[in-house]
Amino acid sequence: MPETHIENAPRIIALTNQKGGVAKTTTTINLAAGLAELGSKVLVIDLDPQGNASTGLGVEVASRGLTTYDLMVEDAPLDQVVNATGVDGIFICPANSDLSSADMEMISNEKRSFLLHDALRQPAMAGFGFDFILIDCPPSLNLLTVNALVACHSVLIPLQSEFFALEGLSQLMLTVREIRQTANSDLRIEGVLLTMYDKRNNLSQLVEADARENLGELVFETVIPRNVRVSEAPSYALPVLIYDSASKGSEAYRALSKEIAGRYGLKMRKNEV
């Protein structure tokens, strides 16, 4: 399907790994916060039926009116689904358990893999002025994740610094290749991010060495440390960059944000404004 042009279109990055517990949602929230600190306007798409990204950005379940389910399945207008958050520069399309049934409801739609792609390219998108859209995918390679891979420009893969970490990547890489061949020829890997890293632990160092040997420049220079403040922040519905700005976790997510923003000339453009 040809790309629909939107002037000053945002960069769309899907954060995905079919393995749960790899800090995917944590990374989505804190990368958004880091990019917002740099002056970006960021939209988070919560595509996980658990709705953890929504909760982590302070959107209570009771206040989630229209959600990503309505955006994709019910053709809801984008401007009725986008919510402001309590963090300057961050907006969200929230999720709730309605998404649990989305796979079954989308399967009969002949455009089932392009529903999110088309929703994010509504003409109304131009009016928001987003620099980045970050999609928090569910921890599985289901139709929701396929929609994210078709809709995005690139994929960021959080990789837990633990034994067997690399083994789960093969199926995801195959899926990315299939999507590139069939539905999104420009799809690329934004990078692999090592998370829950403990520099005192030999295993973390071995996983890093193995990842960099096998994946080379696909691995981000930044690694995200195992940090209690990062774990605590979601219970306060805040990114760690706000919950404890001076923590090691905050420093790491700021470094990741600068690493990504630098690829697109964002810092230069924002500093010139």
Q: Would you state the structure tokens that stand for residue 174, as one six-digit string?
A: 């195959």
Q: What is the helix, strand, coil percentage profile of the chain, to 5?
A: 50, 15, 35
Count the alpha carbons within 13 Å of 232 in the hemisphere toward its beta carbon. 11
pLDDT in tens, 187-242: 999 999 999 999 888 999 999 999 999 999 999 999 999 999 999 999 999 999 99
CATH number of 11-267: 3.40.50.300
pTM score: 0.93
Residues of the chain with pLDDT under 70: 1-8, 266-273
Handedness of CA 236, 249, 20, 131 (dihedral sign): positive
Dist. CA 227–CA 197, nearest whole Å: 9
State the pLDDT at residue 77.
Answer: 95
Q: Which of 48, 6, 11, 59 is nearest to 31 (CA)?
A: 11
Domain ranges of the chain: 11-267
Q: How many angstroms separate the CA atoms of 168 and 186, rounded?
A: 23
Which pLDDT score, from 0 to 100, does residue 8 have?
A: 67
pLDDT for 43: 98
**Dist CA 23 CA 195 (whole Å):** 7
Give the integer Cα–Cα distance in Å for 194 and 211. Answer: 9
